[in-house]
Structure 1
Amino acid sequence: MPARLIGLFLFCLPFSLAAQPSAFPNRPLSIVVTTAAGGSVDAIARAIAADLGKTLGQPVVVENRPGANGNIAAQHVKASAPDGHTLLMLSSSTFTLNPFVLERVPFNPEKDFVPVAMTAGLNMVLVVAPGTRAGTLEELVAAMKARPGELNYGSSGNGSLPQVAAELLAIRTGTRATHVPYKGIAPALNDLLAGQIDFMFDSGTAMSHIQAGKLRALAVIGPNRLPIFPDVPTFKEAGVAGMEVAAGWHGIFAPAGTDPAVVDRLNAEINKSLRSAAMRERMNSMGFESVALPAAGLGRALRQDLQRLGPIVKQAGITAY
């Protein structure tokens, strides 16, 4: 090769290498969680992070950014580089309810993010306080019909999925109860245990109390019974159809523009973690359904929830304020 061509080749080489995408991952990863440490989303995120750190060969840290119904964490990840190193883990309501219950949402869940993996299915349980006389769903519905608005239900806050489930129950049964919003599911559960409220929907926090006999489970959203409570019927089995609309999920998303190959790699590694016996056992103990879907499956779930939850929120007049 003539010296002139060799020189030209050497001159262009750095630019050629710079144009190539960096190997993934090439630095530590961050899973940004929409809740404070200690909740169910956080617990699952930390378990997945531990497994990913081993399989990806890079540290994976969990960063808690609670607040604004998950919008703070989502906005942070939206503004992050779309290289797969910063991920968002949330409960579905941040994406499926916020657009309907908040006046302003600083992101578009379908345009500003790409789905990576669904980490859990939320099959919420309807639980009643120790002093509540209702031993079945039918008896609770009868009590609400006999005393419209007198029974109170708690939720993790205005515009939350537990509130949507309770309002949907009222719509499906022609009843009315009074909503008592809390700043999180834990304080609502404490008041339920103390008998300050009559019932609530929960996706995992109440499980140990149900097992200990401190709370009574009347029905689960469905479409399936929970393995941890095989004797608790679904709402459909108990005579109230259509409650599956209020089912939810936990999921991991990346900023829009993330390389599909990176998304596929993350999906495969996360699903490997979700399929492990240890993770399945942990999910079941928390009342969650372990799932391992392709990234496109999470995208379909998001689209379907946006379509079905909007009309329910409007009909019930639910807002975050």
Structure 2
Amino acid sequence: MAKMPPINRLRRMGLAAIPALFCSAITAPALANDKWPERPIRLVVNFAPGGAADVMGRAIAPTMSQALGQSVVVDNKPGANGNIGIGETVRSPKDGYTLLLSSGGGISINPLIYSKLPFNPEKDLIPVAAVARVHVFLETNPSVPVSNVGEFVKHLQAYAGKLSYGSPGPGSSPHLAGEMFKRAAKVEATHVPYKGAGPALTDVLSGQLQYWFDPGPGLKQVEAGKLKLLAIGSPQRSPLYPKVPTLAESGLPGFDADTLFGIYAPAGTPAPVVEAVRASVLKALEQKNVIDVIQGLGATPEPRMGRQEFVDHHAKERARFAPLIKEIGLKVD
């Protein structure tokens, strides 16, 4: 038996079990979109394969596909700290067939550091649903002769400017965490930007980089003994590693480099479509296998974050990081 398109199926159900926000969106204007989706949906991930965004996208896509009645296909578009994928999404038709999974930094921070962006994420994208709060973990290559943050700080001070750390790109949460760390610990090190967390992880493992702030993909290497985990850059300890201290507990008070990953649609996408996508994401975040994948990255699923709270979060992030970006003079042409 063929699957009924989601909006038709909801109408057949009488909308009885649908949240109030979704009900309010299915009004007369929805009639123009009541056959959506009629073909596969592209989920642009604006970072390279192997990174946190990519892993999350591939985890939620199957349930989204099932809920929407069409395949949701992950399409990696890395580069320029997520701007390539954001631009690809912004330029796409506003019909719900192109969505974006991005870090919050790509949306909130990039406009502060890129002087010639051909788009305005605040105006050109609709925040649809939060997916997860991503934490960063301070990890070193095993060759670095330290076992805790205090020893690492002393090691960096002894080799001022000679050690390197990687990140998924300028202005990414791991990069900003690295800059926060350098200032809080009063150390010097060289930042090496990549097109995603996956390539950065590869070079930390090989020893080309001595350390990094891991947004999650490196934790399996920690468990395999191929990386050393020194601390977490969040206000609270991770349930996965309850014995690992926060950087605040390690002598750097107030350290918080968390970021929020989520789903976005091009501005102008019909409201019923946006709400259908949101419902499919929330459904995915209920699945144990998806929760396990997200928690395996050391991240925290965010199924309870309301849409307006998600929208408001971006302004708060800009206000939080703008002083740091100004202080370090972070600008990219």
Q: TM-score range by the shorter chain?
A: 0.7 to 0.9
Give the Cα–Cα distance (whole angstroms) in 1 for the partners of residues 29 and 162 of structure 2. Answer: 68
Structure 1: unaligned runs, 5 residues or longer: 1-16
Provide the aligned length of Structure 1 versus Structure 2. Answer: 304
Instruction: Name the counterpart of 2:167.
Output: 155
Q: 2:30 and 2:296 mapped to 1: Cα distance?
A: 48
Shift of 1:101: 2.2
- In structure 2, C-alpha distance between the alignment counterparts of 1:195 and 1:36, rounded to whole Å: 20
**Structure 1 residue runs of 4 or more that deviate by more than 6 Å after TM superposition:** none
Q: 1:182 to 1:61 in 2, by over 3 A?
A: closer
Q: Distance in 1 between matches of 2:302 and 2:30?
A: 37
Whichever of the two has the greater Rg, that structure is: 1
The alignment's C-alpha RMSD in Å is 2.3
Matched letter for residue 188 of structure 2: R
Higher deviation after alignment, 168-177 or 62-71: 62-71
Residue 241 of structure 2 corresponds to residue 232 of structure 1: no
Contact 1:124/1:203 (<8 A) preserved: yes
Structure 2: which 5+ runs fail to align? 1-27
Q: Which amino acid aligns with 1:131?
A: S
1:220 to 232, 239, 242: 232
- Per the TM alignment, residue 24 of structure 1 is displaced from its structure 2 partner at its CA by 5.6
- The answer to whether the 8 Å contact 1:227/1:284 transfers is no
2:297 aligns with 286
Paired amino acid for 2:279? A
Q: Provide closer, same or farther for how the CA distance between residues 57 and 158 of structure 1 changes in structure 2, counting only shifts above 3 A.
A: closer
What is the match of residue 3 of structure 1? none
- 1:18-97 superposed matches below 5 A: 20-23=31-34, 25-28=36-39, 29-97=41-109
- Asked if the contact 1:33–1:63 (Cα under 8 Å) also holds between the matched residues in 2, the reply is yes
Deviations 1:167-206 (A, max 9, x none): 1111122222222334443343333233333221111221
- How far has the Cα of 1:18 moved from its partner? 10
SS in 2 for 1:224: coil
The aligned amino acid for 1:91 is: S
SS of the residue aligned with 1:89? strand
Give the conservation status (yes or no) of the 8 Å contact 2:78–2:195.
Answer: no
Q: Does 1:164 align with 2:184?
A: no
The secondary structure found in structure 2 opposite 1:118 is: strand
Could you say what secondary structure the match of 1:110 adopts? helix
Amino acid at match of 1:213: G
By how many angstroms is 1:36 displaced?
3.5
Deviation at residue 38 of structure 1 after TM alignment = 4.0
**Identical counterparts, % of pairs:** 37
Deviation at 1:51, TM superposition (A): 0.6
**Partner deviation per Cα, 1:117-163 (whole Å, 9 max, x = no partner):** 11121100000121222211122122333443233322233343322
Which residue is 1:313 aligned to? 325
TM-score, with structure 1 as normaliser:
0.86
